[in-house]
Chain A
């Protein structure tokens, strides 16, 4: 390799390594802030090494699994309340008035955005459903997980039939 090419290659390598290191450090420093949401455990026990807890009144997002059996309609019948858990022991309650996404069901992962009204209660202005990277045909899901898929067109029917809010 002639010296000019070698010099250019060295320059390019130095630039790339420096920038990669810089980006790595920036991302490391920001790693807490890039998270889209708090998990219920982080909300209750504090986040990161510093155990920072959000303050009441703060707007935030929280993500976790809807506790089966915890979904209930409160007050006027339009507001829905449910509990969220993650791997930790903590459990928090989300209340939300509005239309839930199709994928919302008990046991489903969701992300809610809203205001913290007490240390374990959130009044959400938006509820988003999260799904995982597992895909399978309905028959297989029924055999493996005991979940029956109901096409959205029949969901209303199903719901009024068994009288519960869940889709199972």
Chain B
């Protein structure tokens, strides 16, 4: 693990890797998201019960899913930052947190405007909604802890520990709809993937949802990569390699 990680402890190496990876996430992400949104919001058939209102699923599910996925990514960065004390991992922690927080907010917000016409309420303290709200607070807590210390590295350490501890919330969010009685319905995607059951959605609804899932992943990963690279340049602004890049060369 150390041998594999070692080169990327050097910010310059991470910067160059990121530069190479960025187009592979950004362009497919933008294209898939555009295709998926138009497909889902305009061309996919309406639902038999909910009519057109269900279409918000094409934004709600990807954002909720990657809110959890990026949290796990952030926790892995935190583990590397705390155990191996690699500075780029600390910056990665901070690059992921706001993106994840916005995804969590989008999932809660779209959930509320979906819940109001369908369930009859904006918000209810059921296990799924509450645990997702806790996820938002975890993201905000990580961001706040990071900047709460005079010494940046102490802050990164504290934020990293909070990020790792918060991972416990991820299985709770996922299984909340199975463990307890909730108003929130079960998962459409995961039971198909993890238990190999037939999807509870016909193909003409499932495909735009899957396209959107990968679109969200691409766009959000590209945002994280760009944030991380900005942070690397900001921190390394006095190093010769960074000066060379900032002056216009690659």
| B120 CB contacts on chain A under 8 angstroms | 100-101, 103, 126-129
User: Given A16-B164, A101-B120, A132-B186, are A27 and B172 neighbors across the interface (CB < 8 Å)?
Assistant: yes
Give the nearest-CB partner of B57 in chain A: A135
Query: Is the C-beta of A78 less than 8 angstroms from some C-beta in chain B?
Result: no
From A15, A102, A140, give the contact of B202 (CB < 8 A).
A140
Binary CB contact string for chain B from 155 to 188 against chain A (1 if under 8 A, 0 otherwise): 0000001001101100010000001111101111
Q: Which of A31, A135, A137 has the most CB of B within 10 A?
A: A135
Chain A contacts for B47, CB-based, 8 A = 135-138, 149
Q: Do B48 and A147 touch across chains, with their CB atoms under 8 A apart? A: yes
Question: For residue B50, which residues in chain A have a CB less than 8 angstroms away from its CB?
Answer: 103, 131, 135
Do A103 and B165 touch across chains, with their CB atoms under 8 A apart?
Answer: no
Query: In the bound complex, do residue B45 and residue A131 qualify as a contact, i.e. CB atoms below 8 Å apart?
Result: no
Query: Is A20 located at the chain interface by the 8 A CB criterion?
Result: yes
B interface bracket (residues with beta carbon within 8 Å of A): 35 or more
Docked CA distance A145–B49 (Å):
12
Could you tell me the distance between the alpha carbons of A52 and B181 in the complex, rounded to whole angstroms?
A: 17
Q: Which residues of B lie under 8 Å from residue A12 when comparing CB positions? A: 79, 82-83, 161, 164
* CA–CA, A8 and B237, complex, Å: 31
Contact with A along B112-146 (1 / 0, CB 8 A): 00000111110011110000000000000000000
Given A102-B118, A137-B204, also A39-B83 (CB < 8 A): no
Chain A hits for B57, CB < 8 A: 135
Cβ of A102 to closest chain B Cβ, rounded Å:
6
A19: which of B121, B165, B181, B185 is its contact (CB, 8 Å)? B165
How many residues of chain A are within 8 Å of chain B by beta carbon? 45
**Alpha-carbon distance between A16 and B170 when the two chains are bound, in angstroms:** 13
**A102-137 contact mask (Cβ, 8 Å, vs B): 1 or 0:** 110000000100000000000000111111111111
Interface centre among B51, B179, B186 (most CB of A within 10 A): B51
CA distance A63 to B119 in the complex (A): 13
Contact with A along B180-224 (1 / 0, CB 8 A): 111101111001000000001110110000000000000000000
B residues near A130, Cβ cutoff 8 Å: 119, 183, 185
- Could you say which of A23, A133, A147, A149 contacts B188, with CB atoms under 8 Å apart? A133
Decide yes or no: A128 and B121 within 8 Å by CB, A5-B83, A135-B57 being known contacts: yes
Contacts of A89 in B (CB 8 A): none
Interface residue B84 (Cβ < 8 Å from any Cβ of A): yes
B201 touches A131 (CB 8 A): no
Q: Does A141 contact B (CB under 8 A)?
A: yes
Q: Is the CB of B201 within 8 A of A35?
A: no
A152 to B165, CA, bound (A): 46
Q: B54 within 8 Å of A by Cβ?
A: yes
A63:B83 contact, CB within 8 angstroms: no
Q: How far is the CB of A15 from the nearest CB of chain B, in Å?
A: 7
Q: Of B79, B119, B124, B161, which is in contact with the most chain A CB atoms at under 10 Å from its CB?
A: B119
User: Nearest B residue to A138 by beta-carbon distance?
Assistant: B48
- A8 nearest in chain B by CB position: B83
A16 to B167 Cα, complex, angstroms: 9
Partner of A133, one of B179, B180, B200: B200
Please, how many angstroms separate the alpha-carbon atoms of A82 and B118 in the complex?
19
Residues of A within 8 A of B124 (CB): 36, 128
Give A141 to B200 CA distance when docked, in angstroms: 12
CB-contacts of A9-23 with B (<8 A)? 9, 12, 15-16, 19-20, 23
Name A23's closest neighbour in chain B (CB-CB).
B168
Q: Is B233 an interface residue (CB 8 A)?
A: no
Q: Is B51 within 8 A of A149, CB to CB?
A: yes
Chain A nearest CB from B57 CB (Å) reads 7
Since A35-B181, A126-B120, A142-B48 are in contact, a sample of 16 more A-B pairs with Cβ atoms closer than 8 Å, ordered by chain A residue number, is A12-B164, A16-B165, A20-B168, A36-B126, A36-B180, A101-B119, A102-B118, A128-B119, A128-B183, A130-B183, A133-B185, A133-B186, A136-B48, A137-B46, A138-B46, A140-B202
